Amino acid sequence: ATNKFTYDPGFMSTAACNSTITYIDGDKGELLYRGYPIEQLAVNCDFLETCYLLLNGELPNAQQKKTFVDTVTNHTMVHEQMQFFFRGFRRDAHPMSVLVGTVGALSSFYHDSLDINDPHHREVSAIRLIAKLPTLVAMSYKYSIGQPFIYPRNDLSYSANFMRMMFSTPCAEYEVNDVLVRALDRILILHADHEQNASTSTVRLAGSSGANPFACIAAGIACLWGPAHGGANEAALNMLEDIQKQGGVERIGEFIAKVKDKNSNVKLMGFGHRVYKNYDPRAKLMRETCHEVLTELGLHDDPLFKLAMALEKIALEDDYFVQRKLYPNVDFYSGIVQRALGIPVSLFTGIFAMARTVGWIAQWNEMISDPEQKIGRPRQLYVGAAKRDVPSMDKRK
């Protein structure tokens, strides 16, 4: 017999916390970081300015920006022993498995000297994580292709440093292309924070026990990996490539029919959202960035971009999607941009993690610095067996 509860889905969607960092209006398709619209930040700021804003609540002035950038830049190297962690992974290990492992391993270099109740220690941890994620993501890529690790340089911007660590070799320097570097910077801004999404809630819950921030961010990376969350950009690009292989635009109708067939379990990856029931504002900016990058590279006829726009147009006119308020989300175009930047599909979610680290750590810091905060302890609605006695073996069915 089970308890006579009637499950109320709304029960589990009660507000998780108060926060001053990011505001989303899902019906209007509005996203604000510390009150600033994402559309203005994406055009007027760079990623490290956005990091400063998310961490401190205000945009930096020129001096504050210079100090912050210099501090982050001077923490981009990882401990020399970090390289040995990579050797334990298979060369074809998914970069997210490598990131979960290596970011978690950062704890072993800083944990003992870290008091999370000390605001300065929290600030240094934030800087270290923001600074070292690009280095670890690039190292995971170099390891997967059998090339030597490339050290960061202090004379390059955050995103240019990452592109160089990814694509330079000891034999040939990567030639920084400002349009591509700007595109990466915008991708990072658009992914930086998104209030209480699954991975941020994971970081908050892990952090509420007093676990060190490096371990908490590793937990967030593990959650982000899922295809329903950060893994959707990789899944969306693979979906577009599959449709392209099967005939491209002419086969969209067949694909949409499959999505509508409940038994197929096929989803339109990069569409739909737990909160946005309107167009994800980040998707619009990502589509513009896509067009800019492809034009810069002379790829404006890129078949995947054309396929994505055709798929979006058809889906937005189709009752199945309109009735369910399914619109493109941040992941729908980001894969095409990243592919044009030369980033391998398997690393797309790693780039998302690189960007989201500042949001995770800002949210973690907001929680830890709240004197009222207690360990998280979500409750449940028990709908299992009613209380009963244990039968002897001979009486069991």
Question: Which residue minimizes CB distance to ligand SDX?
Answer: 272
Q: Pick between residue 212 and residue 329 the one whose CB is nearest to ligand SDX.
A: 329
CA 190, CA 22: separation in Å to the nearest integer?
12
> Which amino acid type is present at position 113?
S
Interaction of residue 335 with ligand SDX, rule CB under 6 A: no
Cβ–Cβ under 8 Å, residues 98 and 149: no
197 binds ligand SDX (CB under 6 A): yes
Contact between 324 and ligand SDX per CB under 6 A? yes
Nearer to ligand SDX, 274 or 313 (CB): 274
Which span (37-45, 124-132, 269-277, 340-348) binds ligand SDX, by CB under 6 A?
Answer: 269-277
Contact range with ligand SDX by CB under 6 A, out of 35-43, 64-72, 212-220, 271-279: 271-279
Angle, vertex CA 373, rays to CA 368 and CA 377, nearest 5: 110
Quick check: 207 and 213 in contact, CB under 8 A?
Answer: yes
Distance, C-alpha 260 to centroid of its chain:
28
Tokens of 309: 């726009």
Among 99, 232, 351, 355, binds ligand SDX (CB under 6 A): 232
Which stretches within the chain are classed as H helix?
A: 38-44, 47-56, 62-73, 83-86, 95-110, 119-144, 158-167, 178-190, 198-207, 213-224, 232-245, 252-260, 281-296, 303-317, 319-323, 331-340, 348-368
Q: Residue 67 corresponds to which tokens in the numbers above?
A: 């100090």
Residue 259 interacting with ligand SDX (CB under 6 A): yes
What token pair was written down for 230? 């950060």
329 touches ligand SDX (CB under 6 A): yes
For ligand SDX, give the closer residue by CB, 66 or 274.
274
Name the β-bridge partners of 356: none
Counting contacts by CB under 6 A, is residue 234 touching ligand SDX? no
For residue 132, give Cα distances in angstroms to 11, 186, 250, 281, 293. Answer: 39, 19, 44, 29, 26
CA–CA dist 237, 244 (Å, integer): 10
Catalytic residue among 194, 273, 280, 302: 273
Nearer to ligand SDX, 207 or 270 (CB): 270
Q: Report how far residue 64's alpha carbon sits from residue 358's, in angstroms, rounded to the nearest whole number.
A: 17
Task: Look up 242 and say whether it is catalytic.
Answer: no
Residue type, 358: V
Smallest distance from the beta carbon of 394 to ligand SDX, in angstroms? 46
Residue 331 binding ligand SDX, by CB under 6 A:
yes
Among 270, 281, 335, 350, binds ligand SDX (CB under 6 A): 270
Residue pointed to by tokens 């504050």: 64
Give the span between the Cα atoms of 296 and 273, in whole angstroms.
31
Q: Is 280 a catalytic residue?
A: no
Helix axes 213-224, 348-368, angle to 10 degrees: 140
Among 65, 75, 121, 229, binds ligand SDX (CB under 6 A): 229
Q: Is 330 in the site for ligand SDX (CB under 6 A)?
A: yes
271 binds ligand SDX (CB under 6 A): yes
Residues binding ligand SDX: number (CB under 6 A): 20
Interface residue with ligand SDX, options 258, 267, 291, 306 (CB under 6 A): 267
Does the footprint of ligand SDX cover residue 281 (CB under 6 A)? no
Taking CB under 6 A as the criterion, which residues in 133-172 touch ligand SDX? none
- From 182, 273, 284, 287, residue interacting with ligand SDX (rule: CB under 6 A): 273
- For the CB of residue 215, give the shortest distance to ligand SDX in the complex, in Å: 20
186 contributes a contact to ligand SDX by CB under 6 A: no
In the complex, the residues that contact ligand SDX under the rule CB under 6 A are 194, 197, 228-229, 232, 259, 267-275, 324, 326, 329-331
Q: Which residues are catalytic?
A: 273, 331
